[in-house]
A and B are shown apart, each in its own frame.
Chain A
Amino acid sequence: MRRSLEQQPDEPLVRIVDLGLSHHHQQILEKVNLTIEAGSLLGLVGPSGAGKTTLLRTITGTLRPDTGSVEMRAGLSIGYVPQLETVNWNFPTTVSECVLMARTSRRFAWPTSSERALLSGILARLGLDGLANRHIRELSGGQQQRVFIARALLRSPDLLLLDEPTSGVDVAMRHELLHLLEELRASGMSIVLTTHDLNGVATHLPAVACINRSIIAQGPTEEVLTPETLELTYGASMQILEHAGLRLIVESPRHTHPPFGNDANPLLGQKR
C-alpha cells in the first residue's frame, strides 16, 4: 500500500512500515521497517540476494508489497540510477539523448531552449561537458555512471536512489562518486544507495541500514556496523579494526555459517 505523508519538515521523506514481499512463494522482504529522513545519505548494506534492489523498487513503486506500507511525502519526486550492468550498451543513444529521454514532462524529441540550458548545466556540473554527442559506450566507466546520474538529476529529484553505483568500478572512481553524492546531499538532496562493499563504500557514509530480508539495524554508520550486526547481516563472523582513524571490516578466519538470505532471489533474474 502507498500512502502520503504530511508535508511537514519533521516528517520523513519515506516511511516503510512492516513491508513484506514474496515472489514465487519465496519471501524476499519480511517486516521491513525503514525511514528515510530529508537530507540523508543512507547506504543499504547487505549480501547479494538480501533484497536491497527489491526494497528500492518498492520505494519507486515498480514493485508492490504484499503486506505493510510505503508512506511517501506528498509530491516527492524520485530519481533512479540503475546498476550499470543492466544497461544495454549497444543501444543507439548519445549522452544527450540518454539524459533527455527521462524528462517525459515533455514528450517531443527536440529539447526546448530551457531544457538545453538545464542539460548543459548538469553535464558541466558532472564533468561531462563536450561529451553530449558521444555514444554512451564510448565513455569511461566513471563517465558512464555520471551520465545516468545526470539523467536522474535532470528531473530535479528530492530523493536520489542508486543501485550498486560502485560495483565494478575502480578506487579513484569510487572516491569521485562518493564525493559527488556528498555534494548533492549538501545541496539539499536526499540519497539512498545500495552496496555490498563495506570498506570501500559503507564505512564512508554517514548512515547505513543493514538488510537481509528485513532491516537488521539502521542508524549512524559507526553505531550500526558492529561485529554483531554484521554477523546477523552476512552470516559470517567479522571484526572491525581501527587504524589511523580508519575503520576496516575484516572477515574472521574462523568457520562461518551461511546467511539466512541467499543468492536465489528470483526477482533479481528479472533485471534487464
Chain B
Amino acid sequence: MIDELLQPVGYEFFRNGLIVATLAGALCGGVGVYIVVRGMSYLTHGLSHAIFGGFAASALLGVSFLLGAGVWGIASALAINSVTRRRPIGADAAIGVVTTASFALGLILFALFGRSGRSFDAALFGSVLGVSTGSVVAILAVSLLVLGVVIFFYRPLLFTTFDPEVAAASGLRTSRVEALLMVVFAVSILVSMQVLGVTLIAAALVIPPTTARLLTHSFSKMLIISSAIGAGCGFVGMNLSYHLDVQSGPGIVIVAALAFVVVYAIKRPSGMQRAIA
C-alpha cells in the first residue's frame, strides 16, 4: 500500500510536478488572500485567461513560455489596474472584454497553428507532464520573490488593500503599491499555470484564502494559514491526480474544495463571519 503510494515519487517528472504543485499551492494561497479580501475574485479568472493568449502566442512564435506569457500577463495586469482605477467604466465589464478577447485570441492561435490537442488540454487543465527542472527553478524563484515582497512591503500592501483612501491620505503612493500587487498576481499565476491550468487556477487563488478566513480574523494569520492550506492541497491533489489518472488541476482543486467543505462544516460561520470578505 505504502509502496504503491510512493511509487510515482520514483519518477523525476512526478517529483518535479509535486514540488511545483506544492509551491504553486502555497504561492496562490498567499497571494489569493489579497485578492479575496478585496472581493476581486473575477480578476483571477480574467488574468489567467489573458495569460492564455500570451501562452498561445509564445508557442506560435517559438519563444519561451515564461517570457512570452510573462510579458503578456504583466502587460494585461497593469492594463487591468489602470482600467480599474477609472471608475466611470465598469471595471468588471472592461476586464471581461479585455481578457476574454485575449483568451479568444489564444484559442484561435491554437486552432490555427497548434500542433496537438495535448498541449492545449494541458494549458487549460494543467499537466504534470513536461514539468521540467526549469519550471521548478522558476516557481521557486517567484515564490521567494513574492515572499520577499509580502514581508518587506507588508504594511504598505495591507494599508492599501484595506483602506486605499486613507493610505493615500497618509502619503503612501497607493497606485505604485497596487501596480506592485498586480505584477505579483501576474507572475504567480504565470508560474502556477502549468500544473493548475487556465480554467482552474482561480480556484487555487480563491479557495484556500476563503477557507483560512473561516479560521481566523487576523490578516497575518490568514496569510500563513492560507499558504499552508494551499501547499497541502497542492501536495495531496498532485498525488491524487496521479493515482486517479486525471489532470493535476482538477485533482488539486477538488482537494481544496473538500478542505473548504470540512472547515465550513466544523466552523459553522458565526454572525460575525457570515459575510466573508
- Please give the residue numbers on chain A whose beta carbons come within 8 Å of chain B beta carbons, in ascending order: 57, 60-62, 78-80, 82, 86-88, 90-94, 97-98, 100-104, 106-109, 133, 135, 137-138, 155, 161, 269-272
Let me know if A109 and B154 touch, CB within 8 A.
Answer: yes
Cβ–Cβ < 8 Å partners of A61 in chain B = 168-169, 171
Least CB separation from B88: chain A residue: A24
Chain B contacts for A88, CB-based, 8 A: 37, 162-163, 277
B167: A residues at CB distance < 8 A: 102
Q: Which of B151, B153, B158, B276 has the most CB of A within 10 A?
A: B158
In angstroms, Cα B12 to Cα A69, docked, is 66
Q: How far is the CA of A221 from the CA of B124 in the complex (A)?
A: 67
What secondary structure prevails in chain A residues at the interface with B?
A: loop
Q: Are B172 and A104 in contact (CB under 8 A)?
A: yes
Given contacts A90-B276, A101-B158, A101-B159, contact A107 B152 (CB under 8 A): yes
For the complex, what is the distance from the CA of A88 to the CA of B164, rounded to whole Å? Answer: 11
Interface residues in B158-197 by Cβ distance below 8 A to A read 158-159, 162-172
- How distant is the Cα of A137 from the Cα of B276 in the complex, in angstroms? 12
B82 at the interface (CB under 8 A from A): no
Q: Which 6 A/B pairs are nearest by Cβ-Cβ distance?
A: A60-B169, A135-B217, A90-B277, A109-B154, A80-B169, A101-B159
B residues 258-277 near A (Cβ < 8 Å) are: 272, 275-277
Query: Which B residues touch A82, using CB under 8 A?
Result: 163, 165-166
Known: A62-B168, A271-B165. A100 touches B272 (CB 8 A): no
B170 close to A80 (CB less than 8 A): yes
Distance (Å) between the CB of B88 and the closest chain A CB?
Answer: 8
Q: Is the CB of A92 within 8 A of B219?
A: yes
- Determine whether the beta carbon of A135 is less than 8 Å from that of B158: no
Q: A92-B219, A135-B217, A137-B272 are in contact. Are A106 and B165 (CB under 8 A)?
A: no
Bound complex: CA of A101 vs CA of B171, how far in Å? 13
Give CA–CA (A133, B276) in the complex, Å.
Answer: 19
| Complex alpha-carbon distance, A101 and B218, angstroms | 12
B220 interfacial by beta-carbon distance below 8 Å: yes
Task: Report if B49 contacts A (CB, 8 A).
Answer: no
Task: Pick from B162, B171, B216, B276 the residue with the most CB of A within 10 Å.
Answer: B162
Contact B159 A78 (CB under 8 A): no
Asked if B256 CB lies within 8 Å of chain A CBs, one says no
Are A103 and B155 in contact, with the CB atoms below 8 A?
yes
Expressed in whole angstroms, the Cα–Cα distance for A106 and B156 within the complex equals: 9
Cβ of B216: which chain A residues have Cβ within 8 Å of it? Answer: 92
A250 to chain B, nearest CB (A): 35
Question: Are A78 and B213 in touch, CB under 8 angstroms?
Answer: no
Q: B262 CB to closest chain A CB, in angstroms? A: 20
Q: Does B118 contact A (CB under 8 A)?
A: no
A107–B168 CB distance below 8 A: no
Q: Is the CB of B151 within 8 A of A109?
A: yes
Q: Which of B165, B172, B277 contacts A86 (CB 8 A)?
A: B165
Contact of B155 with A104 in the complex, beta carbons under 8 Å: yes
List the B residue with the shortest CB-CB distance to A59.
B169
Q: Besides A82-B163, A82-B165, A269-B87, 6 other CB < 8 A contacts?
A: A92-B222, A93-B217, A101-B155, A102-B170, A104-B159, A108-B155
B203-241 vs A: 1/0 string, CB under 8 Å?
A: 000000000010011111010000000000000000000
Q: 23 A-B contacts, Cβ less than 8 Å apart?
A: A60-B170, A61-B168, A62-B169, A78-B169, A79-B170, A80-B166, A86-B165, A90-B277, A91-B219, A92-B213, A92-B218, A94-B217, A101-B155, A102-B170, A103-B155, A107-B152, A107-B153, A108-B151, A108-B152, A137-B217, A155-B170, A269-B87, A270-B87
Q: Chain B residues near A87 (CB, 8 Å)?
A: 163
Q: Kindly identify which residue among A90, A102, A103 contacts B166, using a CB–CB cutoff of 8 Å.
A: A102
Residues in B with CB closer than 8 Å to A79 are 170
Q: Which residues of A are found within 8 Å of B87, using beta-carbon distances?
A: 269-270
Give A194 to B68 CA distance when docked, in angstroms.
52
Q: Which residues of A contact B156 (CB under 8 A)?
A: 104, 107
Residues on B with beta carbons closer than 8 Å to the beta carbon of A86: 165
CB contacts (< 8 Å) of A62 on chain B: these are: 165, 168-169
In the complex, the answer to whether B154 meets A108 with C-beta atoms within 8 Å is yes
Chain B residue numbers with a CB within 8 Å of A133 are: 218
A18, B48: Cα distance in complex, Å: 49
Least Cβ–Cβ distance between B173 and chain A, in angstroms = 10
B159–A102 touching, CB < 8 Å: yes
Query: Which residues from chain B contact A155 at a C-beta distance below 8 Å?
Result: 170
Residue A109 contacts which of B37, B155, B162, B163 (CB distance < 8 angstroms)?
A: B155
Given A86-B165, A88-B162, CB of A107 within 8 Å of CB of B154: yes
A271 to B166, CA, bound (A): 11
Q: Closest residue to A87 on the B side, CB-wise?
A: B163
A62-B168, A104-B170 are contacts. A93–B154 as well, Cβ < 8 Å? no
Docked pose: A79 CA to B169 CA in angstroms: 8
Q: How far is the CA of A270 from the CA of B171 in the complex (A)?
A: 19
